[in-house]
Amino acid sequence: MFSALVEEGLDPIHARHESGAAFMALEHELAGGGPGLVFTTTGPGITNALTGLAAARAEGARVILLSALTGAGLRGRHSFQASDAESYAHCGLYGAGGWFDDAIALESPEQLPRVRARLLEGLRRPQGFIAHVAVPLQIQDAKAPALGPLPVQLGAHMAVSGARAVADALGERVAVWVGHGARGAASEVRALVDRLDARVMCSPRGKGVFPASDSRFLGVTGFGGHERVFERRARFAPDTTLVLGTRLGEFSSFWDPRLVEGTRIVHVDVDPTVFGASYTEVETVGVTAEIRGLLSQLLTVLPTSNKPRAGGPVRAIPATYTRSSGRGVPCRALMQSVQRVVVDNTRAVVLAEAGNAFVWATHALRFEQPGRFRVSMGFGSMGHMAAGVVGTAMATESPAVAIVGDGSMLMSNEITTAVQQGTPAIWVVLNDGRYGLVSDGMQGLGHRPHGLDIPTVDFAAVARAMGAHAMTVREPCALDEVLRDALRCGGPCLVDVIVDSEETAPFGARNRSLAAQRDA
């Protein structure tokens, strides 16, 4: 299958690990590169890809797994790495509804027109689509029938309904809570906020949907979010919370009642199962719709407002350097540098890995446009962004920056893939010699951390050994110039930042949430 693509003039990427390939495919798709296609061999090739595919499903991406399938004549005979529905009957790898939205065993070339139609139908879904097509060796070499032109354009939006229902449910004072699902409707969200003179808060994945510099922006909710959200929201005293494109899950809300206090929820999403799931005791009006289309209709339904606009820029945070404590670079100083050099002066996408990197980036970085910040909320696999940054850089054909921990870089990365492709992926490693988030969390719950230290690794030397550019930073004053050099180098680059391991990340209510789960 892989060689057939080469013969057709396409340029498939040979990743080092199947999970890395899946992470790259999903981030490539979310960065605008189109649906991802992941090839694997039988046995561990398939199971290795599952973590990345599970992340893709959680992120609402469109990714198709194309795997090898044990031929019919060898099934049940204990062949090497046997892979078919019988061999993996307990895993759900060859049926829809478990790992996959659709699963197909291609036993004959004549199935291809029907298979393509099923895949196209799935790829049109606005909430993402994960499919598995398994192909035995003898079919891989068979001549395919003529398929004809594509019948429709991919990504067609679902029909929109409910604009009048939303308009009727809105009160006088509206707080808009935006998430990742609203990233394609940023201009409509801003127009709606102007019309309603609303206030806005966002989930970590919703950063940039509404400008962080606008005075009507209350802040970021959830993991790594801002405590000021609660005070600013209470001062505004909304009577309606309009939720756009977030499931309000644990890391988006910690299910904190203060975020919806005194309001009814009007929840717009393509997935109706999220309505009322997080705040079961709050009156919720659920509207199943594609957000951009609904908001476009809503703006035609709502009356023109005569309210004075409260918008305007807030005072920018001044550029400051924090002196080193002697224990390493403070993460606050690193985030200030990333803001100045990367966020404010380039169009690069910033990806934050699970761990303290996620917390610091969510808390400290400010974005004015959607699509420039990526975190994984519901799944949060280590190694996701360390590999996914390569897919983002390939899709955007420009530098992309992953902020990752040392634990994640040791778990999974695709540096040599980026080197082979000449891809301008940049890794900024928070090197503190430990699993920082786990250690801080254990201490916050009153436990003594055990076994969480990592032997010191010279990641710059490792990256150079793989053929990438690399620099090490030990003092805050060097950060800006090193980051500029990384962006200018034109290829893969790793910045190994020796950070202060005693600086506690601002993870807010995470420990309270864990304690509540323990006591439930």
**CATH number, domain containing residue 225:** 3.40.50.1220
261-318 tens-digit pLDDT: 999 999 999 888 899 989 988 999 999 999 999 999 999 999 886 565 555 555 444 4
Which of helix, strand or coil describes residue 75? coil
Same domain, 297 and 337: no
In a domain, 316, yes or no: no
- The Cα–Cα gap between 349 and 11 comes to 23
417 is written with which tokens? 């893939």
CA distances to 52, 76, 94 from 68, rounded to whole Å, are 18, 16, 12
Same domain, 120 and 180: no
In a domain, 145, yes or no: no
Which long-range CB contacts under 8 A does 148-155 form with residues at least 24 apart? 150/120, 151/117, 151/120, 152/120, 152/124, 154/34, 154/35, 154/120, 154/123, 154/124, 155/123, 155/124
Decide if 18 contacts 52 (C-beta within 8 A).
yes
In a domain, 315, yes or no: no
Domain end point (choices 140, 173, 202): 140
Decide if 240 contacts 173 (C-beta within 8 A).
yes
In a domain, 310, yes or no: no
Same domain, 84 and 204: no
- The Cα–Cα gap between 380 and 395 comes to 22
pLDDT of residue 183: 94
pLDDT of residue 203: 97
Same domain, 230 and 375: no
Domain end point (choices 140, 172, 204): 140
pLDDT of residue 151: 43
Mean pLDDT score, 15-29: 95
pLDDT of residue 314: 52
The larger pLDDT score, comparing residue 441 to residue 390, is at 390
pLDDT of residue 35 exceeding 70, the answer is yes
Mean pLDDT score, 2-17: 68
Distance of CA 94 to the CA centre of its chain: 26
pLDDT of residue 389: 98
Same domain, 29 and 127: yes
Decide if 219 contacts 362 (C-beta within 8 A).
no
pTM for the model: 0.85
pLDDT of residue 446 exceeding 90, the answer is no
- Count helices and strands in the chain by DSSP H and E runs: 19, 16
- Cite the DSSP H helix spans in 178-330: 186-196, 228-236, 250-253, 291-301
pLDDT of residue 399: 98
Q: What's the number of domains the chain is made of?
A: 3
Same domain, 383 and 295: no
Same domain, 342 and 472: yes
CATH of the domain at 367: 3.40.50.970
Mean pLDDT score, 318-326: 44
pLDDT of residue 4: 53
Same domain, 54 and 179: no
Domain that holds residue 272: 163-301
Mean pLDDT score, 79-99: 75
Distance of CA 350 to the CA centre of its chain: 10
Same domain, 86 and 205: no
Tell me the pLDDT band of 80, cut-offs 50, 70 and 90.
Answer: confident
In a domain, 386, yes or no: yes
pLDDT of residue 161 exceeding 70, the answer is no
pLDDT of residue 322 exceeding 50, the answer is no
- The Cα–Cα gap between 89 and 75 comes to 13
In a domain, 344, yes or no: yes
Element holding 255 (H helix, E strand)? none
Q: Which distant-in-sequence residues (6+ apart) come within 8 Å of 373 by Cβ?
A: 205, 207, 208, 349, 350, 351, 352, 361, 365, 367
In a domain, 483, yes or no: yes
pLDDT of residue 378: 78
Same domain, 371 and 498: yes
For 24-63, give one letter per residue: b (16+ CB within 10 A) or e.
bbbbbbbbebebbbbbbebbebbbbbbbbbbbbbbbbbbb
CA distances to 19, 35, 263, 295, 462 from 299, rounded to whole Å, are 43, 31, 22, 6, 54
227-262 tens-digit pLDDT: 999 999 999 999 999 999 999 999 999 999 999 999
Q: Which distant-in-sequence residues (6+ apart) come within 8 Å of 10 by Cβ?
A: none
- The Cα–Cα gap between 301 and 321 comes to 49
Same domain, 506 and 466: yes
Ordered strands of the 373-374 beta sheet: 373-374, 349-352, 400-405, 425-431, 493-498, 469-473
- The Cα–Cα gap between 434 and 423 comes to 29
Say if residue 372 is exposed, middle or buried (CB neighbours under 10 Å; 0-12, 13-18, 19+).
buried
Which of helix, strand or coil describes residue 257? helix
Distance of CA 76 to the CA centre of its chain: 40
Say if residue 99 is exposed, middle or buried (CB neighbours under 10 Å; 0-12, 13-18, 19+).
buried
Q: How many CB atoms lie within 10 A of CB 13?
A: 18
In a domain, 306, yes or no: no
pLDDT of residue 440: 74
Same domain, 277 and 364: no
pLDDT of residue 76 exceeding 90, the answer is no
Mean pLDDT score, 410-431: 95
pLDDT of residue 190: 97
pLDDT of residue 364 exceeding 90, the answer is yes
Tell me the pLDDT band of 166, cut-offs 50, 70 and 90.
Answer: very high
The per-residue pLDDT of the chain, averaged, comes to 86
pLDDT of residue 155 exceeding 50, the answer is no
CA distances to 358, 444, 445, 446, 520 from 515, rounded to whole Å, are 21, 10, 7, 10, 9
The larger pLDDT score, comparing residue 476 to residue 5, is at 476
Domain end point (choices 280, 301, 322): 301
Mean pLDDT score, 506-512: 66
